[in-house]
Structures are given as structure tokens and as C-alpha cells.
Structure 1
Amino acid sequence: MTESQQGRNGPSSEDRMRHKELAELWQQMRKVEADAADTLDSRSMEERRQPYEWWEKMFGQRVREWRKARNWSQEYLAEELNLHGFDMHQTTVAKIERGTRPLRVSEAVAIASIFSVPVLSVFYGPGPETESVTQQAMREHMELLEKQARSAQERLEDAAKTVAYYEVQRQSMADAINRAALEADQSDDEAEA
């Protein structure tokens, strides 16, 4: 068969087979990419949010300590917040103190105002009453840091495996391209001979 006949009849069966192999390889690579993306997304929102929730728990502990130091009830604090323009109930204050209710910045500022403490002290340090960070709070924070470090290590290991897989796939694709080019050159040489 001459080149002009081959062109009229379409690609050769060898070419079709090579195209099919490359298409399958391409699909496999796309699947790996999708799986890698799913691995990153598989961490739950809660797990990704956890390092930040520690702040809400610490904030809640401070509010509880300040409230108890003044012998205030949760209901009284809720009434004070209502006077500052925040619709709060005793149950809301309880959730804030447990660190289970998301807190708006304006609410944190109002709470600082109610307790007559600098705004940043609700996050960074003791209020007017000298309070130390308890050993239990430090241990809890250390456990959280250790858990986050283990989680980061696992993500790094997963990423390394993904990179290794892509490197193997890249090399396989480069080999396939080189083989196809070599075969095409050989076909051209045979056609010329």
C-alpha cells in the first residue's frame, strides 16, 4: 500500500492501537489527578477548622473565669450583652463558654467592654484579675499541636506518594512519545526505501 492509499484509508491499525494506548494512559492520569484532589478534599471541614477552634475554646474559658470571678450568672451576662445590642440568652452564653458557638468579632468586643478588659486580652492574656494559663490548658494545646503535626505529616506523605506517581506517569508518557516518534521515523525510512 502506498502512502497515498494509506492516507485515503485513514490511520493504520498500528496507529489506531498507539492512539488507543495513549488515550487510555491519558485517562489513567486524569483519574489519578482526580483521586489526588479527592484526597485533599477528604479531610472534613471540622478537621481543617480544628486548629482555629482552640481560640474559641480559650476565649470561652476566659469568659467563664471572668464571669465567675465576678459571681455573675450566665443569664446576667446574657442580659448585659442584650443591653449592648446583642440578642443573647443564657444558653448562648453557655455555648460561648464551651467554645461550641462561633463568635462574631463585635460580640468579642462587647464582652471585653462588659468585663472592662482590653479587647485583645480576650485572646492573648489575662484580664484585670491575674490569671495564669492552667497546665491543663497548656496540655490540651500541646495535644492539639501534636495531632495537627501528625495530620500534616500524613498529608506530606500522601503528597510525596502523589508526586512519585506523577513522576512515574510522566516518565511512562515520555517513553511512549519517544517510542512513537522512533516508530514514525522507522516507518518513514521504510517508506522511502
Structure 2
Amino acid sequence: MEPEQDTHEANLLVQEMLEQELTDSDTSGAAHRFEEVIGLKIRELRIERGWSQTTVADRMRNLGFDLHQTAIAKIESGKRPIRANEVYALALVFGLPIQALWYLPVAGEPRSVEMLRHELEEVDKHIETMNESLQTLIGVYADAQTERMRLAKAMNEAAVEFQTQAREEDS
């Protein structure tokens, strides 16, 4: 098999893996759900601290964000899209690492052990699929390296033969 064909095959395999990953994941409404969850977390953090929505808006304005109490209310209810830089600034306002806004649990949404087990099984399946694809890619890579070494050896042998013939002609 030609090296270009191997590379093309590897690229097709990677493309197929990415398409499968997108097909396997349920992305319908994911962005909206993300905004709802972040909004709920912002509301919980605000209430835990005894802050009003105006207090949060004021703190955001101190960081350079022109937000008013109504914007905070809309963010908390999931009715206003939230920008990535706003999520970062809100994490600063609450004195938390930005990851906390993604990973803190939302009150009222208990995650049962059964649900977590199911999610774990799905992740394990995904890892196995990726591992199988990776093994295929490693095989394609090894074949390409072998072909490269064969060609380099042939090129070196041809150069030595050319030099030998050149010396014989000069003599």
C-alpha cells in the first residue's frame, strides 16, 4: 500500500471517528440546557451568599461587564444566553475556579447511582470504540513507517551504487 493511501485511510478513519462521536452524543438543546444549569448554579451561589441580583450585577460591572439586575435574573432563569467570558467573570465574582460552575451539583437534581452507572457504562463503551480506532491507526502508522524505512534504504543503496559507478568511470 502506498504511503499517500495510508495517510488518506488514516484521515478517513479519524473523520469517521469524529462523525461517530457527534452522532452518538445527544446535542439537541445541549447549549440551552447548559445555560439553564449555569443559571441555576449562579442563583444558588448568590442565595448562599445572601446577595441580591443587583449585588451580582454591581460586582460584574466592577469587572467591566455592563450587566443590570434584569440581565442576572434572565441568566438565572436560562432566558438569556451567557457568554464564555461572562461565565469566567461570574466565577471570579463568586471566588470560584471556572470549573466549579460546570461541576458543582445543582440542587434538586440528584444523580442516582443507577444513572451514574449508566453514564459510566456509556463512557466505557466510547473509550473501547476509541481504543479500537486507535489500534487501527497505530497499524496504519506502523505500515507507513515501514514503507518509509524501505524507501530510505533503497535510496541509500542507489546513492552508494551511483557513487561506486562514478568512481569506476573516473578510474
Question: What TM bracket, shorter-length normalisation?
Answer: 0.5 to 0.7
Gaps (5+ residues) in structure 2? 46-75, 77-99
Structural mapping, 1:5-154, within 5 Å = 28-48=2-22, 50=24, 53=26, 100-104=28-32, 105-110=34-39, 112=40, 117-118=44-45, 124-127=104-107, 129=108, 132-154=110-132
Match of 1:17 in 2: none
Greater relative contact order (Cα < 8 A, sep 6+): 2
Give the structure with higher Rg (CA).
1
Output the aligned Cα RMSD.
Answer: 3.3
After superposition, the Cα gap between the structure-2 partners of 1:122 and 1:35, relative to the gap in structure 1 and judged at 3 Å, is closer
Once the two structures are aligned, what percentage of the paired residues are identical?
A: 16
Q: Which amino acid aligns with 1:165?
A: D
When the two structures are superposed, what TM-score results if normalisation uses the length of structure 1?
0.48
When the two structures are superposed, what TM-score results if normalisation uses the length of structure 2?
0.54
Choose from 153, 167, 171 the match for 1:175.
153
Q: Alpha-carbon deviation of 1:159?
A: 2.7
Gaps (5+ residues) in structure 1? 1-24, 54-98
After superposition, the Cα gap between the structure-2 partners of 1:124 and 1:149, relative to the gap in structure 1 and judged at 3 Å, is same
Q: Which amino acid aligns with 1:43?
A: M
